[in-house]
Structure 1
Amino acid sequence: MIGLALIAAVLPPTLADIVRADTRSGPFICWVTDVVTSENGVRIYFNRKGGPGFVSTPNGGFRPDAVPVDPARPQEAGVEARLGDKLFPQNSPEDGCSLEIVRRNGQIGVRAMAYFHPVGLPAEKKTEFIPAHD
């Protein structure tokens, strides 16, 4: 049963959630809670607790639970990303994601691909587009 809890944390619970991805608000797959447009691209937010253990970025990486607190969003950790950037949030080698900043139908957002591949079991993958908003 622990494996199912991990899958639920990384992957959307139903296909209907993927279909509604352009019209709903977070939380999304890959521990993303929000995507906001910024001057140079987008700002991606993760839960400080219950989110990924580490996020690799083009400029290094960070632990969401250890970054400085933004008084406006104390429960979340945010990171700036530009069009074409790739980020890799993960909790373990078996449980992670890739996030790529892309344009889809003229809107900037994040293409999120979650994977869960416990040793000895088939891999599961889900992909979702998370549009950025102002």
Structure 2
Amino acid sequence: MTSAAASITLSYTPPGKPVRTRLFSIPNPSRVGQRVIFTDLVCPATATAVPTGTVTFRDATTGTPLGTAALHPAGLGTHCAVAVISTSRTAFQIPGDHTITATCSGETVYQGNSSHPETLTQKVYRGGAHA
């Protein structure tokens, strides 16, 4: 009696097509207690349709969720989408560098970026003139 070893090959492809993201903030730098507008631009790597879903913004330095916004078509003849939030005046109470993350949820056509969220450094100064 002979037996042969069996083998199974498994591969995993994340659902959806890849996207490119770009995170912006205005103003940057900001002051303690000042509202900040965060914008995440989500563009497909290959243009087929406008991404949908949501983007969740978080201050990774303090662990504070800043908000979640739906993606909307960015216009200008592109297949890009944009999500925008404005923080409350209490969002940044600690001066210093804050690492902000933007995580795109993904959907049936496009991948999310939860394993590698977009980041930027939001500089927050005490009140008055920037140092």
Give the TM interval when normalised to the shorter protein. 0.3 to 0.5
> TM-score with structure 1 length normalisation?
0.33
Larger Rg: 2
> TM-score with structure 2 length normalisation?
0.34
Higher RCO (Cα < 8 Å, 6 or more apart)? 2
Greater per-residue helix proportion: 1
